[in-house]
């Protein structure tokens, strides 16, 4: 097992396979990576994934940019080792065309970004996107059993803070017999001059906590899921939340093949050109360098 010097065991891996995207969401942090000179090949992605799998990592999430932009996305997933779960984050615009094929090659579930059901607001947030394509993508993902689909809603002041229940009702519309869709309410990271859009989601969390008939605490970041008659809601609050760092069990790999121990920090470890035992040892050493954001605020976003 991979364990850093603060006692945090690494069980989850995020691999960014591209920095490209067909949308231009104004709040996007691009996984903390501003540029990507050369994307990893499908074989290299699989090689890194196998190394982490050998070291005890159980879950893999494929991210971007927009990962479904890659023409070899099905090859990438089919080459992966048998993780307990392989998931993918997407804006959903290509999902209706690929959902069934993604399931066939081994993808278990998806996270879909959807901040509003309003076409005009969606176009504003994404720089011209069509929300109807995302809605169709989520429907296809549920039909293909890429579930539970997690609908990622970033709450923004003056834009969509009044739409939480609209998105929850939309998510719950798929949950007729079991939970196929979960709403994830995400706190906006006020990067790049976005402070005017920051909205404190703690009141929403207290509201759902008061009406929940069950509360499940996830191992990762100690995130809480509230099970209510209106649906299942999960909260992601990285800001001012020491538990978020304390219970972080993730490592990240950038799309150009570098290890990034923390989204909120600049630190990276270049593993390009390393293979076999050299790659394994480099991963072990990189894990030792993990430093919680809340221990030292070496961060370039705030």
Residues 60-115 have pLDDT tens digits of 999 999 999 999 999 999 999 999 999 999 999 999 999 999 999 999 999 999 99
Mean pLDDT, rounded, for 254-258? 95
Cβ distance 208 to 202 under 8 Å? Answer: no
- Res. 292: pLDDT tops 80: no
Alpha carbon distance, N-terminus to C-terminus of the chain: 33
The pLDDT value recorded for residue 265 is 72
- Res. 153: pLDDT tops 70: yes
Bond into 65 cis (ω within 30): yes
The pLDDT value recorded for residue 180 is 97
The pLDDT value recorded for residue 293 is 66
Among 24-28, 241-245, 282-286, name the one with the lowest average pLDDT: 241-245
- Res. 294: pLDDT tops 70: no
Domain boundaries, the chain: 2-288
The pLDDT value recorded for residue 302 is 31
Give tens-digit pLDDT for 139-152.
Answer: 999 999 999 999 99
Output the average pLDDT for the chain.
91
Q: Phi-psi category of 233—alpha, beta or left, where left has phi over 0 and alpha has psi -120 to 50?
A: beta
Higher local confidence (pLDDT), 77 or 34: 77
The pLDDT value recorded for residue 298 is 42
The pLDDT value recorded for residue 36 is 80
Looking at CATH, the fold of the domain delimited by 2-288 is given as TIM Barrel (3.20.20)
Please work out, in degrees rounded to the nearest 5, the angle formed at the alpha carbon of residue 123 by the alpha carbons of 122 and 127: 120
Cβ distance 231 to 175 under 8 Å? Answer: yes
**CA atoms of 183 and 155, how far apart (whole Å):** 12
Backbone angles phi, psi at 183, to 5 degrees: -90, 125
By percentage, how much of the chain surpasses pLDDT 70? 92
Backbone angles phi, psi at 33, to 5 degrees: -125, 115
The pLDDT value recorded for residue 29 is 75
pTM of the model: 0.93
* Most confident listed range (115-119, 235-239, 256-260): 115-119
Higher local confidence (pLDDT), 148 or 30: 148
Cβ distance 227 to 216 under 8 Å? Answer: yes
The pLDDT value recorded for residue 301 is 36
- Res. 223: pLDDT tops 90: no
The pLDDT value recorded for residue 32 is 62
Which H or E element spans position 42? helix 42-54
């Amino acid at each position: 097992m991979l364990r850093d010097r603060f006692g945090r065991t690494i069980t989850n891996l995020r691999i960014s396979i591209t920095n490209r995207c067909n949308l231009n969401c104004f709040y996007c942090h691009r996984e903390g990576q501003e540029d990507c000179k050369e994307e990893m090949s499908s074989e290299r992605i699989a090689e890194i994934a196998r190394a982490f799998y050998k070291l005890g990592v159980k879950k893999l999430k494929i991210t971007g940019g927009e990962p479904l932009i890659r023409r070899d996305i099905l090859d990438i997933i089919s080459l992966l080792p048998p993780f307990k779960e392989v998931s993918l984050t997407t804006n959903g615009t290509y999902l209706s065309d690929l959902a069934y094929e993604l399931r066939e090659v081994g993808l278990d579930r998806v996270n879909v970004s959807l901040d509003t059901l309003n076409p005009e607001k969606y176009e504003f947030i994404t720089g011209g996107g069509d929300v109807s394509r995302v809605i169709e993508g989520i429907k296809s993902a549920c039909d293909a059993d890429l579930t539970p689909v997690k609908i990622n809603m970033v709450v923004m002041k003056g834009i969509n803070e009044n739409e939480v229940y609209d998105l929850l009702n939309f998510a719950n519309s798929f949950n007729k017999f079991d939970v196929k869709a979960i709403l994830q309410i995400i706190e906006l990271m006020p990067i790049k001059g976005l402070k005017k859009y920051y909205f404190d989601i703690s009141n929403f969390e207290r509201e759902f906590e008061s009406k929940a008939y069950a509360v499940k605490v996830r191992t990762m970041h100690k995130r809480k899921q509230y099970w209510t008659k209106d649906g299942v809601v999960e909260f992601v609050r990285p800001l001012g939340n020491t538990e978020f760092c304390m219970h972080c069990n993730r490592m990240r790999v950038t799309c150009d093949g570098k290890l990034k121990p923390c989204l909120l920090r600049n630190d990276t470890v270049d593993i390009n050109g390393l293979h076999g035992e050299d790659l394994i040892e480099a991963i072990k050493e990189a894990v030792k360098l993990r430093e919680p954001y809340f221990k030292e605020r070496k961060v370039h976003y705030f």
